[in-house]
Chains A and B, each alone.
Chain A
Amino acid sequence: MGTGLGRVRGLGSAKQGTHHWWMQRLTAAGNVLLMSWFVVSLLRLPDLSHAVVTEWLSKPLVAIAMILLAGNVFWHLRLGLQVFIEDYVHNEASKLGLLVLLNFFAVGAGAIAIFSIARIAFGGAV
């Protein structure tokens, strides 16, 4: 489908819009649950001292939920900021550069968060 010129330029639908839309909703639903749990949990801690926070993060269910939260949050923000960039950055080079930067940020920060939780949970942070 589409015009021959459009095909040559590689423009037009990538046929992945529905998947993007669906994952945005799926991670949004996950965020509603996980972020609500996270915020309530933080408010219920006696304080945010290192001892209190690391002890909390050492509990298996807390660590698992936090890892799911980190993955879900950074996936969701990657999808959201992608739309943000595609809508507002019209220069092809800048757009490509920002999309690469966004992926590095989302995957990098997500890896930092997940490894940090694991290290605390396995007793490596003192």
Chain B
Amino acid sequence: MSRNHSRPLSPHLTHWRWGANMLVSILHRITGFGLAIVGGLIFAGWLLSAASGEETYNWFLGLFTVESGAINIVGAVFGIGLTWAFFTHLFNGLRHFVLDAGAGYELNTNRTWSIAVVAGAILATVALWAWLLWPTIGALVGGEG
């Protein structure tokens, strides 16, 4: 439906002072969108290539890894990006369950949990990838890994 320009618009993003609750709200949509399109395609592609046989599967893995099996730059960007999106969407989804129950709307509580979701997702992503890449990091730093 086209907008009637004689009618006023409600104040939108640019008119509000940003708060943690707004950030986490828009992040929920962005990460959901990313997980749906990128994650959905990779998930279905991974399974289809596995079902098509070893040669096709290796070609698919080759999009994200180098010869030795370690991840390449594409694998790192998609892997870390999807991990962060997954944790953000998961943690905020759990926060939404609490909000759906009618709890957590007090300004300070809402702000605290919004920040916790954003920070927790970043921490979880760093922790998981540090663990995954530990052998590589160890080899780069000192050799004895």
On A, residues with C-beta under 8 Å from B are 11, 25, 28-29, 31-32, 35, 39, 47-48, 50-51, 53-54, 57, 66, 70, 73-74, 77, 80-81, 84, 90, 92, 105-106, 109-110, 112-113, 115-117, 119-120, 124-126
Q: B44 contacts which of A28, A80, A112 (Cβ < 8 Å)? A: A112
Interchain nearest-CB distance for A103 vs B (Å): 13
Cβ A117 vs Cβ B47 within 8 A: yes
- When distances are taken between beta carbons in the complex, the residues of chain B under 8 Å from A28 are 93, 96-97
Interface string of B18-40 (1 = CB under 8 A from A): 00000000000100110110001
Q: A90 contacts which of B1, B33, B94 (Cβ < 8 Å)? A: B1
Interface string of B37-64 (1 = CB under 8 A from A): 0001101100110111110011001000
- When distances are taken between beta carbons in the complex, the residues of chain B under 8 Å from A66 are 47
| B69 contacts A by Cβ under 8 Å | yes
Cβ B51 vs Cβ A84 within 8 A: no
- When distances are taken between beta carbons in the complex, the residues of chain B under 8 Å from A84 are 29, 32-33
Interchain nearest-CB distance for A14 vs B (Å): 15
On B, residues with C-beta under 8 Å from A are 1-3, 29, 32-33, 35-36, 40-41, 43-44, 47-48, 50-54, 57-58, 61, 69, 86, 90, 93-94, 96-97, 100
What are 5 residue pairs bridging A and B, where the CB atoms are less than 8 Å apart in the complex?
A: A28-B97, A73-B43, A80-B32, A90-B1, A90-B2
- When distances are taken between beta carbons in the complex, the residues of chain A under 8 Å from B93 are 28, 31-32
Q: How far is the CA of A15 from the CA of B112 in the complex (A)?
A: 35
Majority secondary structure of chain A interface residues (helix, strand, loop or mixed): helix
Cβ B40 vs Cβ A120 within 8 A: no
- When distances are taken between beta carbons in the complex, the residues of chain A under 8 Å from B32 are 77, 80-81, 84
Q: How far is the CA of A119 from the CA of B85 in the complex (A)?
A: 30
Cβ A77 vs Cβ B40 within 8 A: yes
Interchain nearest-CB distance for B70 vs A (Å): 11
Q: Which of A35, A54, A74, A113 has the most CB of B within 10 A?
A: A113
Q: How far is the CA of A74 from the CA of B39 in the complex (A)?
A: 10
Q: How far is the CA of A41 from the CA of B29 in the complex (A)?
A: 27
